[in-house]
Structures are given as structure tokens and as C-alpha cells.
């Protein structure tokens, strides 16, 4: 499928923002961090990341000014649920931060609730794609696991950046990186074995001519490219998939992991290591997410003989 830059930006940046919000909420709730100007700045940054990602998602709509209507379909649409949950999560987090700033502390249960809502929001975002049976590569429980894993890893690197005195945060960031990319490797392994015919779809079912001999296209359905061929039958990504996977793995895992090892075990400055580690990680995630869309094969491609 054709990768939309706004959706790639949305799924990566908002995931990092909500991941950091969840970690800050849990750390403050259980006394693992103190509410000071550093954590307050990190909280504002997390809100900016989440909000920027959500706003960018509207650029993919035909009529962005009507984006508010998506909130009304929460009973049947994961897209609508994701929108409702994101607004609810950010609202609860802002109110919780405000009470912590004014009173010096905030109810623990609200912090835990915010962290849970963050996970639920990221899960809803992933389910927008994981629910789609016409795209067999996406239709897997590993899809939400990847989204949650990468939100955790990117959020954890940011958390290590704002708590440089806590060596354990850097070690947890390394573990979260390993876990997230381990799940992604499993996702890629499954994707390589999952084609458009995974659900039994064939050219015969695409054209409605089942029960006959093997079908072959005599002529293409269209003389020129149309919307479906541009958006759903995108092939460039699959031609360079192996190379791009190595690039995403190198940028998103290897380089950040090395930098975090330098900070955690060789006394290198955490700030000087965690900041570029986050930059490399996000660059790797952008490539990974581009591939997520570009490698996807929609069953409508069978109608065009692809």
C-alpha cells in the first residue's frame, strides 16, 4: 500500500509521546521520580509529541476540517476509538499534572489510569490496521504488539534522557529496545510467509468467477492507473524490502543500543548518548513504519493481476 507521510509521522511520534506519558505517570505515582521542573518539562514535551502526531493524522483525510466527525463512530470504528481515547488520555494527564503542580502531589490511581489509557490508545491505533482482513500481513496479534513495543522503547529512551542520574532507566531502555525489535523480527518472519492468498482469495474470487478453470487476465481492468492501483497496489517497497529492513534495524536498534551501553556501562554522559539514541531510534522507526505500509499487500491487487 502507498505509505502516507502524515500517517507514518502520526504512528511513530504519537507512540513516543504516549509511551513517555505512561512512564512518567507510573514513575510519579509509585515514587520512582520526584515532580520537579525537569519532569514537568518532559511531561510538556510528551504532550507536544502526542498532540503533533494526532494533528498530523488529519492531513491524510480528504476533508481535514471534518475530522471531528470521526469521534462519533466509537462503537464500530477503531479509528474513532483511538481519537476518543487519545483526547481522554491527554485530558486526564493534563488535569493530573495540574493537581500535582498545585498541590505537590496527585492521586496515585489517576496516574495508573493515565498509563493504562496510554496503552489502550496505542492498542487502538494498531487495531486500525490489525483488524483489516483484506491485508493479511497486518491481520495479526503481532501488529499491536509491535506498536506497543515501539511506544515503550521510544518512551523509555526519552525517560532515560530526562532522568540521567538513574542508571536503571538506561538499562531498562536497552531491554525495551531488544524486546520491541524482537517482536518486530517475529512480525517480519510471519509477513514473509503471508501472501494475499492467506485467506483463500484468488483472481477467481476477486472477479467473482469461481468454479471455473484457472483464470488469467486477458486485459487489464484499466488502461491507466487509478486510485486503487496507486494506493492499494504499491510495489516499490517490496522491491527494496530486505535492504530497508537492515537500515531500519541498524538505525532503530543497533546504534541506539550501542549508545545506551556506553552510557550505562562505560560512564559516558547519559544526555550525550540518550539524545542521539532517540534520534537514531526514531529514524529507524520511520523506515520501519514506511515499510509497514509499503510491503502490505491488499487483496484488491488480485483484480489487477498483481
Q: Which of 122, 169, 124, 167 is nearest to 149 (CA)?
A: 122
Parent domain of 83: 1-131
Residues 110-134 have a mean pLDDT of: 92
85, 199: one domain: no
pLDDT at 76: 78
Q: Lowest mean pLDDT: which of 125-129, 223-227, 258-262, 272-276?
A: 223-227
Percent helix, percent strand, percent coil in the chain, to nearest 5: 75, 0, 25
Among 146-155, 182-191, 240-249, the least confident range: 240-249
Show which of 81, 114, 131 is a domain's final residue.
131
Judgement on whether residues 103 and 178 belong to the same structural domain of the protein: no
* 196 and 81 together in one domain: no
Q: Is residue 260 part of a domain?
A: yes
Helix (H) or strand (E) holding 65: none
Mean pLDDT of 12-38: 86
In a domain, 147, yes or no: no
Q: What is the pLDDT of residue 201?
A: 65
Q: How many CB atoms lie within 10 A of CB 108?
A: 14
120-to-47, 78, 89, 203 alpha-carbon distances in Å: 16, 11, 9, 38
Q: How many CA atoms lie within 13 A of 207 on its CB side?
A: 18
42, burial (CB in 10 Å: exposed 0-12, middle 13-18, buried 19+):
buried
Residue 6 burial class via C-beta count within 10 angstroms: exposed 0-12, middle 13-18, buried 19 and up: middle
Same domain, 174 and 306: yes
Kindly state the helix (H) or strand (E) to which residue 294 belongs, with its residue range. Answer: helix 270-294
Domain for residue 154, yes or no? Answer: no
Pull the grid cell for residue 224.
491507466
Q: What is the pLDDT of residues 173-197, one digit of tens each?
A: 999 999 999 999 999 999 888 866 6
Angle between helices 167-192 and 255-265 in degrees, nearest 10: 160
The domain total for the chain is 2
C-alpha grid cell for residue 107?
A: 492521586
Amino acid at each position: 500500500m502507498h505509505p502516507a507521510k502524515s500517517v507514518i509521522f502520526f504512528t511513530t511520534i504519537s507512540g513516543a509521546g504516549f509511551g513517555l506519558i505512561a512512564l512518567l505517570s507510573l514513575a510519579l505515582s509509585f515514587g520512582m521520580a520526584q515532580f520537579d521542573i525537569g519532569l514537568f518539562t518532559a511531561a510538556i514535551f510528551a504532550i507536544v509529541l502526542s498532540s503533533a502526531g494526532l494533528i498530523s493524522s488529519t492531513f491524510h483525510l480528504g476533508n481535514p476540517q471534518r475530522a471531528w466527525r470521526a469521534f462519533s463512530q466509537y462503537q464500530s470504528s477503531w479509528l474513532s476509538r483511538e481519537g476518543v481515547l487519545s483526547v481522554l488520555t491527554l485530558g486526564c494527564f493534563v488535569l493530573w499534572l495540574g493537581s500535582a503542580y498545585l498541590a505537590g502531589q496527585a492521586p496515585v490511581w489517576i496516574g495508573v489510569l493515565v498509563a493504562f489509557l496510554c496503552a489502550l490508545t496505542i492498542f487502538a491505533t494498531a487495531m486500525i490496521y490489525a483488524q483489516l482482513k483484506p491485508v493479511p500481513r497486518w491481520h495479526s496479534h503481532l501488529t499491536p504488539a509491535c506498536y506497543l513495543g515501539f511506544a515503550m522503547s521510544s518512551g523509555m529512551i526519552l525517560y532515560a534522557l530526562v532522568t540521567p542520574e538513574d542508571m536503571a532507566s538506561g538499562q531498562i531502555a536497552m531491554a525495551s529496545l531488544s524486546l520491541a525489535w524482537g517482536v518486530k523480527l517475529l512480525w517480519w518472519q510471519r509477513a514473509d510467509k503471508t501472501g494475499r492468498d492467506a485467506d483463500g482469495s484468488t483472481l477467481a474470487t476477486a472477479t467473482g468467477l469461481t468454479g471455473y478453470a484457472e483464470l488469467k487476465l486477458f486485459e487489464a481492468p484499466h488502461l491507466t492507473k487509478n486510485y486503487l492501483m496507486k494506493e492499494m497496489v504499491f510495489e516499490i517497497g517490496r522491491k527494496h524490502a530486505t535492504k530497508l529492513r537492515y537500515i531500519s534495524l541498524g538505525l532503530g536498534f543497533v546504534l541506539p543500543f550501542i549508545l545506551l551501553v556506553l552510557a550505562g556501562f562505560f560512564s559516558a554522559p547519559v544526555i550525550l548518548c540518550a539524545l542521539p539514541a532517540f534520534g537514531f531510534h526514531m529514524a529507524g522507526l520511520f523506515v520501519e513504519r514506511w515499510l509497514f505500509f509499503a510491503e502490505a499487500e491488499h487483496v484488491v491487487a488480485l483484480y489487477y493481476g498483481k
